[in-house]
Amino acid sequence: MAESPPLLDPVQLGAYFALIEVVDLLRHAIEQQLREAGDLSYVQFQLLARLNGAPEGSHRMTDLADGVVYSRSGLTYQAGLLEKAGLVTRAPSPEDERSVTVTITDAGRERVQRVLPGHAEVVSRMLFQPLSGKDVETLAGLLQPVREHMRSTPPRSAARRRRR
Amino acid sequence: MAESPPLLDPVQLGAYFALIEVVDLLRHAIEQQLREAGDLSYVQFQLLARLNGAPEGSHRMTDLADGVVYSRSGLTYQAGLLEKAGLVTRAPSPEDERSVTVTITDAGRERVQRVLPGHAEVVSRMLFQPLSGKDVETLAGLLQPVREHMRSTPPRSAARRRRR
DNA sequence: TATTGTTATACTCTATAACTATA
DNA sequence: TATAGTTATAGAGTATAACAATA
């Protein structure tokens, strides 16, 4: 049996560690800002923001889950919190009685607006301040293919994640 | 009052979203791998890895906390779990009786070794597969200054984080 | 039968505040 | 007084499995 070479070279390790640390610090700061400015968790903000950007301010639960949450029950839980807070409503979908349509309320839109400036400020200050415009383009250009690759690649132990 | 321009331009938004999504998916996959291969959470793995890389396999609690955990009690909790699992030991520091020195055990080192190949495989496959060697260098070069900037910048609401 | 969503439940993790002990 | 760490406690979030209803 041959000795397997290390799977990651030093440059890769550096990129990986930096990536994780940067996002960790950024995310922590954002979560604090969202909590203080609008009493929202990051997941809740993501859900609201997605609804806010949707044509009718609505999505089916299944569509909402995509990319934000990893289990159905997790989404039900978060949607329940948002509903209790009056930021969304839930109603059976007209076309498919099994589905639930989640809709953002006016209060929900206001909440997003209230939180947005501070959110952008944190991202701008922490992430983009040390980067030039050209840098940001480069960064976006590098991450785009990675994102697509991750989205399209079935998580190696598939079964478990049929439903995201 | 002047209308404030959006703080983030479309390219920045794209970079930001991609960054968050990529790390989110990556981290989720890694956490699954670590749990299955070695019954470790990411935080626990980070702590063990740091100890494993330390000169004597030891760190004071305070040093250990740095960058991995955001509250002292959180570290006590995780260190307690690792100790209960026999992966580290804790003992009062010789020089400063207030401090606790955490040391990785042989079992701890074995655990890290057991988990490492799979970890590297996930990172390699998910993150680096779509990137060229040159891309990785560029990415590392972009993230490095951001990382340093974040480390050196006091979190705007300082007081709360005197102790990390 | 397959899909959509909810519920019950159990568990992990995090954070705040109060506390102990040493410097 | 300040620092290092622990404990008690409470809360937020997540995931699995069992379930009900619709397609």
Q: Residue B135: is its pLDDT beyond 90?
A: yes
Nearest nucleotide over every DNA/RNA strand to the A74 CA, judged by C1': D14
The residues near B75 (Cβ < 8 Å, ≥ 6 apart) are B61, B64, B65, B68, B69
Q: Residue B164 pLDDT more than 70?
A: no
B4 — pLDDT class (breaks 50, 70, 90): low
Query: Above 70 in pLDDT, residue A99?
Result: yes
The two structure tokens encoding residue A3: 């000795």
What is the rounded average pLDDT for all residues in chain B? 92
Residues of B in contact with A12 (CB under 8 A): 123-124, 128, 136
pLDDT score of A67: 82
Whether any strand C atom is under 7 angstroms from the Cβ of B44: the reply reads yes
| pLDDT value at residue B158 | 41
Give chain C positions with protein CB within 7 A. Answer: 3-9, 12-17, 21-23
Q: Which amino acid is at B31?
A: E
User: Does the structure show a pLDDT above 80 at A5?
Assistant: no
Interface mutation vs chain A, best among B13, B146, B151, B153, most A CBs within 10 Å:
B146
- For the residues B97-121, what does the mean pLDDT come to? 97
A23-52 pLDDT per residue, tens:
999 999 999 999 999 999 999 999 999 999
Partner residue facing A130 (CB), from B128, B133, B145? B145
Q: How confident is the model at residue A122 (pLDDT cuts 50, 70, 90)?
A: very high
Q: Do B142 and A153 touch (CB under 8 A)?
A: no
Q: Is the pLDDT of residue A157 over 60?
A: no
> Among all strands, which nt has the closest C1' to A72 (CA)?
C5
Query: What is the DSSP track for B12-64?
Result: HHHHHHHHHHHHHHHHHHHHHHHHHHHS--HHHHHHHHHHHHSTTSEEEHHHH
Q: How far is the CA of A50 from the C1' of C5 (A)?
A: 20
The values of phi and psi at residue A100, to 5°, are -120, 130
Is the model more confident about B87 or about A155? B87
Mean pLDDT of chain A: 92
pLDDT of residue B3: 59
Q: pLDDT tens, A69-85?
A: 889 999 999 999 999 99
Partner B contacted by A152 (CB < 8 A): no
All structural domains of chain B, each given as residue ranges with its CATH number in brackets, are 24-144 (1.10.10.10)
Is 90 exceeded by the pLDDT of residue B85?
A: yes
Q: Is the pLDDT of residue A12 over 70?
A: yes
Cα angle A150, B69, B62; round to 5: 145
Average pLDDT over residues B138-160: 82
Would you call B146 and A22 a contact, using CB atoms and an 8 Å cutoff? Answer: yes
> pLDDT confidence of A156, banded at 50, 70, 90?
low
User: Edge to edge, what strands does the sheet with A88-92 contain?
Assistant: A58-60, A100-104, A88-92
**B6–A153 CB contact, under 8 Å:** no
